[in-house]
Amino acid sequence: MEYENVILEKQDNIGILYINRPKAMNALNTATVREISKAIDEVKEND
């Protein structure tokens, strides 16, 4: 899945999640928190 504010990398059984909002100094907002939650769910589904 494509995300606007986060980058999800999957390597073997490990998911690495990066916040990608350099203009906002990687500050969290509602949209970013939702994307983090969706990315975590995506990793869980592939477990």
Tens-digit pLDDT profile for residues 1-47: 899 999 999 988 899 999 999 999 999 999 999 999 999 999 998 87
pLDDT given for residue 36 in this prediction: 98
Residue type, 23: K
Sequence-distant (≥ 6) Cβ neighbours of residue 23 within 8 angstroms: none
Q: What is the pTM of this model?
A: 0.88
Residue type, 17: L
**DSSP secondary structure letters along 6-34:** EEEEEETTEEEEEE--GGGTT---HHHHH
pLDDT given for residue 29 in this prediction: 98
